[in-house]
Chains A and B, each alone.
Chain A
């Protein structure tokens, strides 16, 4: 009986290819949309998380100015001194490492290649705080810092632009006024939402001050990078730093902070939940497209319900039982839904793989969402394909035949 119903169902599908095609199309679009959106959304979440953990997980950054969004307030606000960094490191126990940072945009030249690069002058501990690894060569050390040696460590983007495919280690490049030996190449961190992290040159702070720009004032530190011991309560740490810095910068109790502290963990959490929200939003959009697909299927079914009701009447009249007719309709609906679902999954995989490459997020096949999308759309197809038949099969054959 099942086999019979299957044979009849397949024949019935072939008899009306347009109807079959439109049904499959409705399901297929819904499935492809929901899988693509959720998979890409999850890829983006993973990419953002990876980027943030490459910044350092319990990294605090101290900057002058009142903080985000009040850039004007940072005009005229004094920078930090090296002493500020030393003092914080000595007096606050939960600080694991601290590095003063001075940045400058300087022209860099190697043979005929020239570009403007952001040069970071800092202390050796900075590499550890910012989680930099070496691809080649070495970091500069305390001795280099003390003597102010003209050495530098470069990021991969700088290497590509100045040296093309050549080996930079041991080569001399001109940075600002000084000629500087490349001693290390940084392992690449990749493109972040916040710009190319590999477009960087790191030099000893003393070399930047003395050789490349010349020390202008003792307040020349534009940023202090701090890493905390594992398990530190970052809220308490921020409070401690704030108290100390207010004191060092002679702020009265009625004055606002003229510095701000940027906590990567907080940012990580915010960004993480934002991308999660994005993923959910995309899933909702995809869900709507699935619903629209379902309504499309329902339309097709409603348009053909007169013809199909007559068909049911004819089958009943010549001796089919209601159960056999319903089985046939069920098989039809399941077959079309499954074909639509499978084609949708294949298209989604192809789409995700190519789109993921274009927007450079990782592509992971997510079995769960594929299953959910498939089952949901199959349910939509079966419900809309099967329900009209149920009503018709309950009628007296003559009433089904008279249906208008």
Chain B
């Protein structure tokens, strides 16, 4: 192994997250230690309410931890300004939300183009990339439809297309197949695997589905805000 690959993609130490204050305080993460290398495909599992989404939000720079350190590609994330974190999200991170979070009254195409718009990419290239991304998730005919006109599974696929259209270096996927049938689930897993294998994109994926988790080479189980088990690939 060379020096570069030993330098981890991201590393968290004693990470905690507490929601609320005083009597209403609830500690959702109780000291997470985790190191992820470039090119890994990690499945995160665990019962509902165990803190999976909370961890993903912190790792995806959407939320700030209560304590602990988070280093992404050698950058101490806590020291970044909110603007710098925005730029990190813009150029390095992709996020698929458990609740989709698409812009209302906005066509699928415009939703997918949005991250490209903030990257300052020209109209023509935006159209091409959005078309490619929507086609790859199996939605080539739903360009003009707004989220209100799409089924849950279709909305989820638009959200996936939006996250992968920028080809981020790390993709966070919070239950990306939660609303999909088995055929589409297999298609989406194929896309994620291809991004991981062909493009070297690191994928962190939350799932409840053992079959889906089987696509990943590493499996982390979280329970009550602590990592219960971490099954590394057998080398």
Contacts and interface: CB of A to CB of B under 8 A. Distances in A.
B101 A401 contact: yes
B62 A320 contact: no
Interface in A379-403: 394, 396-399, 401
Query: Which 9 A-B pairs have CB atoms at the shortest separation, nearest pair first?
Result: A319-B90, A321-B86, A398-B62, A398-B63, A318-B115, A319-B89, A397-B62, A321-B83, A398-B57
A320 B101 contact: no
Contact of A318 (B83, B105, B118): B118
Interface stretch (A239-247, A282-290, A305-313, A355-363): A305-313
Q: Is the interface of A mostly helix, strand, loop or mixed?
A: helix
B117 A321 contact: no
Interface string B189-221: 000000000000000000000000000000000
**What class of interface size applies to chain A in its complex with B?**
20 to 34
B82 interface: yes
B64 interface: yes
B63 A318 contact: no
B105 to A, nearest CB: 5
A8 B63 contact: no
Contact of A321 (B87, B99, B114): B87
B162 interface: yes
A135 to B, nearest CB: 69
Contacts of B119: 319
B95 interface: yes
B104 interface: yes
A381 B178 CA distance: 43
B120 A318 contact: no
A324 B103 CA distance: 17
Nearest to B107: A15
B106 interface: yes
| Most chain A CB inside 10 Å of its own CB: which residue of B82, B86, B99, B106 | B86
| Most chain B CB inside 10 Å of its own CB: which residue of A323, A394, A397 | A397
Contacts of A316: 86, 89
Contacts of A324: 118
A62 interface: no
A322 interface: yes
Given A396-B64, A398-B63, A319 B87 contact: yes
Contacts of A318: 89-90, 95, 114-115, 118, 162
A303 interface: no
Interface in A172-187: none
A371 interface: no
A396 B86 contact: no
Given A311-B104, A318-B90, A319-B118, 4 more contacts: A319-B89, A319-B90, A319-B93, A319-B115
B91 interface: yes
A318 B163 CA distance: 8
Contacts of B82: 321-322, 394
A322 B82 CA distance: 8
Interface string B167-189: 00000000000000000000000
Contact of A315 (B95, B104, B114): B114
A313 B110 CA distance: 17
Nearest to B168: A319
Contact of A4 (B89, B97, B117): B117
A394 B99 CA distance: 22
A322 B57 contact: no
Interface string B50-63: 00000001000011
Contacts of A4: 117-118, 120
Nearest to A307: B104
Contacts of A319: 86-87, 89-91, 93, 115, 118-119
A16 interface: yes
A346 interface: no
Contact of B118 (A15, A320, A394, A399): A320
Contacts of A396: 62-64
Contacts of A321: 82-83, 86-87
